[in-house]
Structure 1
Amino acid sequence: MSAEIVIYVVSDSAGDTGEIVVRAAVAQFHPVYADIRRAPFVQDEGTIEKVLDKAKAEKAVILYTLVIPGLRDYMARRAAEEGVAAIDVLGPLIGSLESQTGIKARQEPGLNHVLDADYFRKVDAVEFAVKYDDAKDTTGVMKADIVLVGVSRTSKTPLSMYLAHKKFKVANVPLVPELRLPPELFKLPKHRIVGLTIGTHYLNIIRKERLKALGLPDNAPYATTERIERELAYADDVMQRLGCVVIDVSNRAVEETASLIMECVRGNGLSRGE
């Protein structure tokens, strides 16, 4: 049975680092679901107090990446006083680096977000993933570094966004028997396409949970075994025609699947933005 934990990511910058750490850790506890709530650009003790109040009421965990020493010390002290589990990600490392190098930390939030060429490539890739998600605009198929294909609920969108943060431009195409495939798909080199498949049992559970989340009965045709088997058979046929690599996402975290995709892509000599 799945469980849920609320985790507040508190940062005096955007909070990207903290969220990445949380997701990497939670992936080790599948099927635990983490409700990650960011508190970014924290600049005062009052904001910390508000987060502590919420976390205490919800029995949540706080993970913080505060580089300003005063805020970091305040969070540690007040969390201990309130009995809230709070994890300091950067403090111990910054202290060790200061000790080893003899150099005082700059104590400036957001230095890892310097607006360099790398940053803008990431922004472009994220915008690309949003624009060409779910084949809303099929022209993206020919422009993408990677095209993901698969039936509904095989993590195409989360994977597109994750890979975008690795600076890959990703488009994804849903495989639905009733929908016409974009002809552009068959013009692509097969090494630019990755097929996503999943076990019938896993997909049945995921789709039922999705229907429940939408307030719909879980016995709708979308989640029936018969419908799922039909879709997967259709998807398998399409992937064979495309000649693409196929990855089974059953019981795999997004990060693990993304790592496999990047291995495949790099193994074929494709780098970001080619």
Structure 2
Amino acid sequence: MENNIVLYVLSDSVGETAGQVAKASISQFSPVKYEVRRFPYINDEDQINEIIDEAKSEKSVIIFTIVIERLRKFVMEKSAENNIPAVDLMTPVLDSIEDVLGYNPKRQAGLIRRLDAEYFKKVEAVEFAVRYDDGKDTRGIKKADIVLIGISRTSKTPLSMYLAHKNFKVANVPLVPEVPPPDELFEKDPRRVFGLIANPEKLNKIRQERLKTLGLNNNANYANLERIKEELEYSKRIMGMIQCKVINVSDKAVEETSGFIIDIMRKNFGEELEQ
């Protein structure tokens, strides 16, 4: 007797989960012949009826991950009417989690895809921040959602990374009196550019600590207070020319500055920001 069997995999999303379960399960039986037929994006009863009509003429099992309650019940009812075994992979798990949490699941199709898309968007933003950190490649200015500018030790890099984890593509550009700022800065929408400044005395202490960690003399020009004041004045002139928002980060945590920037971006770009 041939052990032919068809596993019907139904889902209101892509169906990868049910497909993997079907393959893992059938591998335990080593039948002479089997087939897994996948039907993703089930969204109405007519689709289910067509699949049931096909499945009832074969030795078959229906395995499904359908969270929309109306369609889930329809699959169970039609399978029972036609004596087709049907396995609901999601409901027992959802019921157990609901019992523990004490509230109902959303029962929206495709949420895991949205989570995956969100994750990859975040990874892309982090990679962008690394690639266009510290003005390494000025082409990033044109592509960036947000551009941070400021002199050394004004938290450009940590802020870029924090904003990247909020899914923003951020480029940061150091401002140094001896180095002309890139032309791309003046071509960027100034609403997307944020200038970072800080108290010169605080910057002096931060830079001295930085030199110590590098094993260098903290009397270097880099940590000289007058030099820092000169750099700050220069940076303010550039920010004034760009007409960007200027933020004093002296007493702000990275999270606070990030929240401030995101609020401004939402006010400026609204729904466009969510896309």
TM-score, with structure 1 as normaliser? 0.58
Deviation at 1:206, TM superposition (A): 0.6
Runs of 4+ that moved beyond 3 A: 96-100, 112-115, 270-274
Residue 202 of structure 1 aligns with an amino acid whose one-letter code is K
Q: CA RMSD in A?
A: 2.4
Q: Provide Cα deviations, 1:207-244, integer angstroms capped at 9, x if missing partner.
A: 11111111112111100111100000000000000000
Q: Which residue of 1 aligns with 2:142?
A: 142
Cα 1:206–1:101, aligned 2, differ >3 Å: closer, same or farther?
same
Higher-Rg structure is 2
Report the Cα distance in structure 2 between the residues aligned to 1:256 and 1:128, rounded to whole angstroms. Answer: 22
Deviation at 1:116, TM superposition (A): 1.3
Q: Which residue of 1 aligns with 2:172?
A: 172
Matches within 5 A, 1:65-84: none
Q: Which residue of 2 aligns with 1:221?
A: 221
Cα 1:101–1:247, aligned 2, differ >3 Å: closer, same or farther?
same
SS of the aligned residue for 1:166 comes to coil
Unaligned runs of 5+ in 2: 1-96, 105-111
Matches within 5 A, 1:226-241: 226-241=226-241
SS of the aligned residue for 2:123 comes to helix
Unaligned runs of 5+ in 1: 1-95, 104-111
Q: Which residue of 2 aligns with 1:265?
A: 265
* 2:149 and 2:196 in contact (8 A); partners too: yes
Cα 1:114–1:266, aligned 2, differ >3 Å: closer, same or farther?
closer
Report the Cα distance in structure 1 between the residues aligned to 2:103 and 2:268, rounded to whole angstroms. Answer: 44
Q: Which residue of 1 aligns with 2:56?
A: none
SS of the aligned residue for 1:268 comes to helix
Deviation at 1:114, TM superposition (A): 8.6
Report the Cα distance in structure 1 between the residues aligned to 2:254 and 2:118, rounded to whole angstroms. Answer: 23
Matches within 5 A, 1:182-201: 182-201=182-201
Aligned residues: percent identity?
56
Q: Which residue of 2 aligns with 1:210?
A: 210
Cα 1:113–1:180, aligned 2, differ >3 Å: closer, same or farther?
farther
* 1:159 and 1:258 in contact (8 A); partners too: yes
How many residue pairs are counted as aligned between the two chains?
A: 172
Report the Cα distance in structure 1 between the residues aligned to 2:103 and 2:238, rounded to whole angstroms. Answer: 59
Report the Cα distance in structure 1 between the residues aligned to 2:205 and 2:251, rounded to whole angstroms. Answer: 11
* 1:145 and 1:272 in contact (8 A); partners too: no
TM-score, with structure 2 as normaliser? 0.58
Q: Which residue of 2 aligns with 1:101?
A: 102
* 1:169 and 1:273 in contact (8 A); partners too: no
Report the Cα distance in structure 2 between the residues aligned to 1:113 and 1:213, rounded to whole angstroms. Answer: 44
Report the Cα distance in structure 2 between the residues aligned to 1:232 and 1:99, rounded to whole angstroms. Answer: 55
Deviation at 1:251, TM superposition (A): 2.1
SS of the aligned residue for 1:267 comes to helix
Residue 186 of structure 2 aligns with an amino acid whose one-letter code is F
Q: Which residue of 2 aligns with 1:127?
A: 127
Cα 1:266–1:226, aligned 2, differ >3 Å: closer, same or farther?
same
Cα 1:100–1:127, aligned 2, differ >3 Å: closer, same or farther?
closer
Q: Which residue of 2 aligns with 1:160?
A: 160
Q: Provide Cα deviations, 1:122-159, integer angstroms capped at 9, x if missing partner.
A: 11111110111111010000000000000000010101
* 1:128 and 1:171 in contact (8 A); partners too: yes
